[in-house]
A and B are shown apart, each in its own frame.
Chain A
Amino acid sequence: MEEDEFFGEKTFQHYCAEFIKHSQQIGDGWEWRTSKDCSDGYMCKIHFQIKNGTVVSHPGTSAHVQTCLPMEEALELPLDDSEVTEATAATEVIKYEYHVLYSCSYQVPVLYFRASFLDGRPLSLKDIWEGVHECYKTRLQQGPWDTITQQEHPILGQPFFVLHPCKTNEFMTPVLKNSRKINRNVNYITSWLSIVGPVVGLNLPLSYARAASQNE
């Protein structure tokens, strides 16, 4: 509709298309989805992770370690029973879904995500939190992206968790300013996702950044 701002919907779609091009080159799994009755759409990625809870063996102490590993790495782990005294290895496969939508109200991209077990049972926010690395937990609590809340997905109408978009401009402006200073091409989506993604378990291979600076 109206495109008088820096980051309008067409610009969003353009950066997403570039992003997905690279994703296809490296097999990172992002794809574009459109809704039947409208011209707008969103980026979507699904990946599976194994949630592995094992009690680490130290005589006299028990430290519970919970790690989320990408499926491929988890399957390579040696199962050494002699190292684990109290072995409670409960492996569950979790399906993570990440959607990148455009907010016309704030004129920025927004990250929606949800997680569920394979039988459809959804993970609560508390469960998802446990999969987030410590260093990101403190960062999230301090902002600037404020909070994660449960909201209705504007295209699918289902409950998702969302990183609130109202502070996005605040942290994206310095990123864009800096790259203009050193005359480097930047894909807004790549930069933005590399900042907010890891906080909710979504990591971007470095090659995205190299691809972005090579474009045009």
Chain B
Amino acid sequence: MTDDKDVLRDVWFGRIPTCFTLYQDEITEREAEPYYLLLPRVSYLTLVTDKVKKHFQKVMRQEDISEIWFEHEGTPLKWHYPIGLLFDLLASSSALPWNITVHFKGFPEKDLLHCPSKDTIEAHFMSCVKEADALKHKSQVINEMQKKDHKQLWMGLHNDRFDQFWAINRKLMEYPAEESGFRYIPFRIYQTTTERPFIQKLFRPVATDGQLHTLGDLLKEVCPSAIAPEGIDGERKNQVMIHGIEPMLETPLQWLSEHLSYPDNFLHISIIPQPTD
């Protein structure tokens, strides 16, 4: 029987095989070969693509290079979303490798946040961690930590160091002995079919009668269309995906929050159409 702790490792070390191709209209001095890379599901695009940038900049002139941005089948990729979320939401039904187009011109100001430096990614990441703790613990745990603990969370993610990260993160996963879970569960539900980027609401992990709320309970309450049956055979038309898998709807939300959250301590849930094959 798999230990719960093994789940934490499986989530952390998840990878997506990706093929980066330079946009055909970029000006190059030589032909640019595609670049292959295994992307960590739990990290961010601009944090793990230094090698990709260097590879393509080798065949370009400095004056033709502006801020890098990535796109998949015409959709600009939001670097501030975790890589695994982007893949599950936009490309999980396509064949591997994930094809990403690299741009150095024409930054889409209306769609993407700027990412001038690694500090921007750190600030965004820490902002998410703090918001998650505001929901779980009224910010008490994160505020009690020292600056060096915050730094350790970031460095753990930055350097792909599971133990370094979880030495601190485990404190964010605790709750008072007299309670059955966190105050509210940090989650965001994403669908490509809506204008709204995600759904985020206050939701408790435990009901008033003490029963643990499940993933199904959450969806029924905040996104019923996600699990609505359709057609005569009552087949669901959507998949509910986290980290590339479909957890059973009966799974307690508290357990999901403790084990399947991303490093930012949020459960990022994708609602995608059932693949037709």
Interface residues of A (CB under 8 A from B): 1-2, 35-38, 104-106, 120-122, 149-152, 154-159, 164, 166
Mark out the residues of chain B between 8 and 58 whose CB falls within 8 Å of any chain A CB in the assembled complex. Answer: none
Q: Which residue of chain B has its CB nearest to the CB of A38?
A: B196
Given contacts A152-B197, A155-B196, contact A2 B131 (CB under 8 A): no
A149 & B123 in contact (Cβ 8 Å cutoff) = yes
Q: List, sorted by A's number, 19 A–B pairs whose CB atoms are closer than 8 Å.
A: A2-B202, A35-B196, A38-B199, A105-B131, A105-B186, A106-B131, A122-B109, A149-B123, A151-B113, A152-B78, A154-B197, A154-B198, A155-B197, A156-B197, A157-B197, A159-B110, A159-B112, A159-B114, A166-B134
A36 & B195 in contact (Cβ 8 Å cutoff) = yes
Given contacts A37-B196, A38-B196, contact A1 B134 (CB under 8 A): no
B127 & A150 in contact (Cβ 8 Å cutoff) = no
Closest Cβ of chain B to A57, distance in Å, is 37
- Residues of B within 8 Å of A151, CB to CB, are 113
A158 & B200 in contact (Cβ 8 Å cutoff) = no
- Bound complex: CA of A122 vs CA of B135, how far in Å? 33
| Interface residue? B243 (CB, 8 A) | no
Given contacts A2-B184, A166-B139, contact A152 B113 (CB under 8 A): yes
Mark out the residues of chain B between 128 and 146 whose CB falls within 8 Å of any chain A CB in the assembled complex. Answer: 130-131, 134-135, 139
- Residues of A within 8 Å of B204, CB to CB, are 2
Query: Digit string of B190-218 for contact with A (CB within 8 Å is 1, else 0)?
Result: 00001111111111100000000000000
| Interface residue? B4 (CB, 8 A) | no
| Interface residue? B103 (CB, 8 A) | no
Closest Cβ of chain A to B204, distance in Å, is 7
| Interface residue? B80 (CB, 8 A) | yes
Given contacts A2-B204, A105-B134, contact A152 B80 (CB under 8 A): yes
- Residues of B within 8 Å of A35, CB to CB, are 195-196
Q: Which residue of chain B has its CB nearest to the CB of A160?
A: B113
- Residues of A within 8 Å of B130, CB to CB, are 166
| Interface residue? B111 (CB, 8 A) | yes
The total of Cβ contacts below 8 Å across the A-B interface reads 62
- Residues of B within 8 Å of A154, CB to CB, are 196-198, 200
B interface residues, how many (CB within 8 angstroms): 29
Partner of A157, one of B123, B135, B196: B196
Q: Which residue of chain A has its CB nearest to the CB of B143?
A: A166
Closest Cβ of chain B to A109, distance in Å, is 15
B110 & A158 in contact (Cβ 8 Å cutoff) = yes
B114 & A1 in contact (Cβ 8 Å cutoff) = no
19 new A-B pairs (CB below 8 Å) besides A152-B113, A156-B195?
A2-B202, A2-B204, A35-B195, A38-B199, A104-B202, A105-B186, A120-B110, A121-B109, A122-B110, A149-B124, A150-B114, A151-B113, A152-B78, A152-B197, A154-B198, A154-B200, A155-B197, A159-B111, A164-B127
- Residues of B within 8 Å of A104, CB to CB, are 200-202
A106 & B195 in contact (Cβ 8 Å cutoff) = no
Most buried by B among A1, A122, A151, A156: A1
Return the 10 tightest CB-CB contacts between A and B, nearest first. A157-B197, A2-B202, A1-B202, A105-B131, A105-B134, A122-B109, A104-B202, A150-B113, A159-B113, A1-B201
- Bound complex: CA of A1 vs CA of B200, how far in Å? 11
- Residues of A within 8 Å of B194, CB to CB, are 37
Most buried by B among A122, A164, A166: A166
Closest Cβ of chain A to B113, distance in Å, is 5
Closest Cβ of chain B to A101, distance in Å, is 12
- Bound complex: CA of A10 vs CA of B259, how far in Å? 33
Closest Cβ of chain B to A207, distance in Å, is 34
Closest Cβ of chain B to A169, distance in Å, is 10
Q: Which residue of chain B has its CB nearest to the CB of A121?
A: B109
- Bound complex: CA of A154 vs CA of B195, how far in Å? 10
Closest Cβ of chain A to B254, distance in Å, is 16
Most buried by B among A149, A150, A164: A150
- Residues of B within 8 Å of A156, CB to CB, are 195, 197
Mark out the residues of chain B between 252 and 272 whose CB falls within 8 Å of any chain A CB in the assembled complex. Answer: none
A105 & B135 in contact (Cβ 8 Å cutoff) = yes
B196 & A1 in contact (Cβ 8 Å cutoff) = no
- Residues of A within 8 Å of B109, CB to CB, are 121-122, 159
Most buried by B among A121, A122, A154, A159: A159
- Bound complex: CA of A36 vs CA of B194, how far in Å? 9
- Residues of A within 8 Å of B127, CB to CB, are 149, 164
